A and B are shown apart, each in its own frame.
Chain A
Amino acid sequence: MFIINCPFCGERDQSEFKAGGEAHIERPKQPTELSDDEWAEYLFMRKNIKGVQFERWNHAHGCRKWFNMVRDTSNDEIKLIYKMGENPPIE
């Protein structure tokens, strides 16, 4: 349980949000040319990091907008929040 600072609405309880999983997984540009292995990689394989991870979140019970988050999954500490379309911070 933690507080999330929505870039559009400000600080709200985590229960208002929906986690959208790992961020920056790009939909294949040429889906017809993808091999089965590449489809599996895109659809199912996840880094599932213990530590700092890039994620997508949705303010489902609020503004309903999506945004990105950098969060430490070992202690749920939020490091950074940035908008969709922005480049991930390099660290």
Chain B
Amino acid sequence: MSNKYSIFSLIKNAFSYHENWQKAWKDAHPKKEYDVVIVGGGGHGLATAYYLAKKHDIKNIAVVEKGWIGGGNTGRNTTIIRSNYLWDASAGLYDHALKIWEGLSQELNYNVMFSQRGVMNLAHNLQDVRDLKRRTHANRLNGIDAYYLSTEEVKKFCPIINTSPNIRYPVLGGTLQKRAGTARHDAVAWGYARGADEMGVDIIQNCEVKGIKRNGDKVEGLETTKGFIATKKVGVVAAGHSSVIANMAGLKLPLESKPLQALVSEPVKPIIDTVVMSNAVHAYVSQSDKGELVIGAGTDDYVSYSQKGSHQIVEGTLNAILELYPIFSRMRMLRQWGGIVDICPDASPIISKTSIKGLYFNCGWGTGGFKATPGSGDLFAHTVANDEPHKLNAAFNLNRFVSGDLVDEHGAAAVAH
């Protein structure tokens, strides 16, 4: 690696006032032809390019991104990572990702600030208790660390939670995944971009795809704002805009794109050292290393690409946060934003071939794609390179909406769809 980051490179660059660091990746211009073009320069897309180059020995790869890399949902999420999903297929998929997260900073030589601070899911009614206990058992059968906690144990693990039985939705218990946690979202995109660039991947920013050129049922290339790019394989990882790209190829996907909001508070001293999620009242919160509370709100129920959500969604989330954490009642919110998430009817993603040869989609991650970034990239790279899915993403094909073999994860998805 030409510019390996280490304590020595840090000291060396300190002598020149950190003004001579090499660029982490070069700003590439499109060549005439590539073996594979990845559409979408977010975490999932860059990870796909990285693993295509690293594990499948394909070197002539481009990632085209209409804005700047990591500027979409990668930089707009609440950075939560966990794998406590119900079904075997999902457990396999998300835990595959979690295992890569555990060694990712070393692998990329880039600190993604992965912090296994634990994720706790709260139960507020008897159905929640039953569902979470069932999910705990299912997780353990799949080798995923999961514990069921009583109300007292919840209070012990996170003392600032109001566990009084007199609140509107009292805490009746919860689950804990200790290996779960958070990571620095931007660093994930930057780390993968740097790693991919090092292996010769062209990262082309400010390059919007305008059309997909086909010869019959085969892909021939992409029309972009930087001209025509010839390629036989296109991997689309466009999140909220997946349907827009699919429409260019004459395909329809089972997706609806909706705004999902998040907000952060002013920075304060460490107060919450884990991630707490509560599906029933829709409040989830963690604290960033800068000290801001990171709060996830819900989706709006209408289709929109406007990257802004409704005020009442944020209001509802903050009501729930205040009931559960009275200590936050005087805190001021600093920033609020929306991202466009592509939601699948079964709340599970699509990592799949399509009816068009050479066109692949990795989409439908909905409200919870960040946690899967490394695994998603790895499995999508396998699917694109071999023209067939890996066994871990075989269940997440597009055909499941025809066969009826859905992977219903509405219970494990944090945000109610």
Chain B nearest Cβ from A22, distance in angstroms: 8
Residues of A within 8 A of B305 (CB): 50, 73-74
Total chain B interface residues with beta-carbon distance under 8 A: 27
Residues of B within 8 A of A (CB): 241, 243-244, 247, 252-257, 300-306, 308-312, 345, 401-404
Besides A50-B241, A74-B305, 4 other A-B contacts (C-beta < 8 A): A36-B402, A36-B403, A46-B253, A55-B302
- The reply to whether A45 and B254 contact each other, CB–CB distance below 8 Å, is yes
Chain B nearest Cβ from A72, distance in angstroms: 9
Q: How far is the CA of A24 from the CA of B254 in the complex (A)?
A: 17
Residues of A within 8 A of B (CB): 1, 14-15, 18-19, 21-22, 36-37, 39-41, 43-50, 53, 55, 71, 73-76
- A19-B402 in contact given A45-B252, A47-B252 (Cβ < 8 Å): no
Q: How far is the CA of A74 from the CA of B305 in the complex (A)?
A: 5
Q: How far is the CA of A58 from the CA of B276 in the complex (A)?
A: 34
Chain B nearest Cβ from A50, distance in angstroms: 5
Q: How far is the CA of A15 from the CA of B311 in the complex (A)?
A: 9
Q: Which residue of A lies closest to B312 (CB)?
A: A15
Residues of A within 8 A of B255 (CB): 46, 48
Q: How far is the CA of A40 from the CA of B345 in the complex (A)?
A: 11
- The reply to whether A45 and B312 contact each other, CB–CB distance below 8 Å, is no
- The reply to whether B306 and A46 contact each other, CB–CB distance below 8 Å, is no
- The reply to whether A73 and B401 contact each other, CB–CB distance below 8 Å, is no
Chain A nearest Cβ from B98, distance in angstroms: 29
- The reply to whether A48 and B302 contact each other, CB–CB distance below 8 Å, is no
Residues of B within 8 A of A48 (CB): 243-244, 253, 255-257, 303
- The reply to whether A40 and B303 contact each other, CB–CB distance below 8 Å, is no
Q: List 8 A-B contacts (CB under 8 A).
A: A18-B301, A19-B300, A44-B254, A46-B253, A49-B247, A49-B303, A73-B303, A76-B304
- The reply to whether A45 and B401 contact each other, CB–CB distance below 8 Å, is yes
Which of A14, A71, A73, A75 has the most B CB atoms < 10 Å from its CB?
A: A73
- The reply to whether A40 and B312 contact each other, CB–CB distance below 8 Å, is no
